[in-house]
Amino acid sequence: MSNEKEPLLVVKDLKKYFHTKSGELKAVDGVSFSINRGETLGLVGESGCGKSTVGRAIIRLHEPTSGQVLMNGKNILEYKSKEEMKHLRQSMQIVFQDPYSSLNPRMNTFDLIADPARVNHLFSSEKELEDAVYDMMDTVGLTNRFAGAFPHEMDGGSRQRIGIARALILKPEFIVMDEPVSALDVSVQAQVLNLMDELQKEFKLTYLFISHDLSVVRHISDWVAVMYLGQIVEMSRYDVLFDNPMHPYTKALLSAIPIPKYGLQRERIYLKGDVPSPLNPPAGCRFAGRVPWIPKEAHEEHPELREVEPDHWVRCTCYQYKS
Ligand SMILES: Nc1ncnc2c1ncn2[C@@H]1O[C@H](COP(=O)(O)OP(=O)(O)OP(=O)(O)O)[C@@H](O)[C@H]1O
Ligand SMILES: [Mg+2]
């Protein structure tokens, strides 16, 4: 049996609450999903819904408040020893949205890519390190002449290639891509997305791909999860979610994308009101205030994420009681 369909990552009831001056902010409030080895889960939703916090909590850049994150069956949130943390730091990586602000401006390309390998004592000699860095530059499409160049001397696409190389040199199994192409020109976006696709196949990488833009997610995702106010409201294989969206929030997001099949031919759905505050989320359905056609139970009961057809989960009062 091929092991390609085994989940590499299983996230169970992940919560991340921030203690702020105004009270407890529920940035991520019970998120569960799994990602098969070599596949991509696209995580979409509006600004502030908790996407980055999910990505950071999984790799423990933010310590989660509760939940489980199983990688190859081991709960990495229980890792404590130096050895375990080293393994976590190597096997789980993140690529950030804005490579300009995430790269040290005083380091050149070579040193930026060598840095994570040096910190993790990955190579025993400088020669080995040098070979690996040049090899990695080649892998991500940076020619040797860039080795001495500094971030400000390079364009956005090349800078993001450095960000990807920095992640890849540690030979991770899992990478959080947090809006990796959002800061790039549209023409460059496609090149970088293609690169990520090729790298995924070549190195059997597993991605959590975060974006506020469904049309970007569609190119790279096997599965898509839609987030709203700290929770997943719909999740399925990408084609099912695009062809048969069930949650009114997914429908509204899809109606806004400039792809004739999904967006323009459907009637544009405008939501009313604003996203409620994660400091004080509604007790019932968190989406209830945004649409005019909800049943009265929605104000009272908080709907569960429910599998309404095989591999298609929806958190909506309208689907709670359907068998
Ligand atoms: N370190 C922090 N301390 C307090 N609150 C935070 C912190 N980081 C994020 N938040 C809050 O958590 C919520 C989720 O933020 P997050 O950055 O995860 O959203 P996002 O979906 O990634 O948004 P964007 O699309 O703008 O990147 C927001 O209300 C945000 O203000
Ligand atoms: Mg974010």
Do 13 and 68 meet the contact criterion of CB atoms below 8 Å apart? Answer: yes
Q: Residue length, the chain?
A: 323
Residue 2 is predicted with a pLDDT of 41
E strand or H helix at 27: strand 23-36
E strand or H helix at 90: helix 82-91
Residue 298 is predicted with a pLDDT of 77
Residue 270 is predicted with a pLDDT of 82
What does the H/E/C string look like for 181-247? CCCCCHHHHHHHHHHHHHHHHHHCCEEEEEECCHHHHHHHCCEEEEEECCEEEEEEEHHHHHHCCCC
Residue 248: what residue type?
Answer: P
Residue 241 is predicted with a pLDDT of 95
Residue 260 is predicted with a pLDDT of 67
- Ligand 1 lining (C-beta closer than 6 Å): 18, 20, 25, 27, 45, 47-53, 212, 278
Q: Which two tokens stand for residue 152?
A: 């400000």
Helix axes 109-119, 126-139, angle to 10 degrees: 120
Closest Cα to atom 3 of ligand 1: 18
Alpha-carbon distance values, 223 to 6, 15, 30, 192, 209 (Å): 14, 21, 19, 20, 10
Ligand nearest to the CA of 46: 1
Four-way CATH pick for 7-320: 3.40.50.720, 3.40.50.300, 3.30.70.580, 3.60.20.10: 3.40.50.300
Q: Probe ligand 1: pick from 52, 102, 181, max atoms within 8 Å of CB?
A: 52
Residue 269 is predicted with a pLDDT of 81
Global pTM value: 0.94
From first to last of its 323 residues, the chain has per-residue pLDDT tens of: 444 478 999 999 999 999 999 999 999 999 999 999 999 999 999 999 999 999 999 999 999 999 999 999 999 999 999 999 999 999 999 999 877 788 999 999 999 999 999 999 999 999 999 999 999 999 999 999 999 999 999 999 999 999 999 999 999 999 999 999 999 998 899 999 999 999 999 999 999 999 999 989 988 999 999 999 999 999 999 999 999 999 999 999 998 887 666 655 567 888 888 889 999 998 888 888 888 777 777 778 888 999 999 999 999 887 765 54
Residue 262 is predicted with a pLDDT of 63
In this structure, are strands 174-178 and 206-211 parallel, antiparallel, or unpaired?
Answer: parallel
Alpha-carbon distance values, 250 to 157, 225, 290 (Å): 30, 10, 12
Residue 258 is predicted with a pLDDT of 75
Q: Which atom of ligand 1 is nearest the CA belonging to 62?
A: 1
Ligand nearest to the CA of 49: 1
The CB-based long-range contact list for 76-83 (8 Å cut-off, 24+ gap) reads none
Closest Cα to atom 2 of ligand 1: 18
Measured distance CA(34)–CA(298) in Å, rounded: 27
Residue 3 is predicted with a pLDDT of 45
Q: Probe ligand 1: pick from 17, 19, 28, 53, max atoms within 8 Å of CB?
A: 53
Alpha-carbon distance values, 143 to 135, 185, 210 (Å): 10, 21, 28
Residue 321 is predicted with a pLDDT of 59
Helix axes 186-203, 156-168, angle to 10 degrees: 20
Residue 273 is predicted with a pLDDT of 85
Q: Probe ligand 1: pick from 15, 17, 18, 101, max atoms within 8 Å of CB?
A: 18
Residue 255 is predicted with a pLDDT of 86
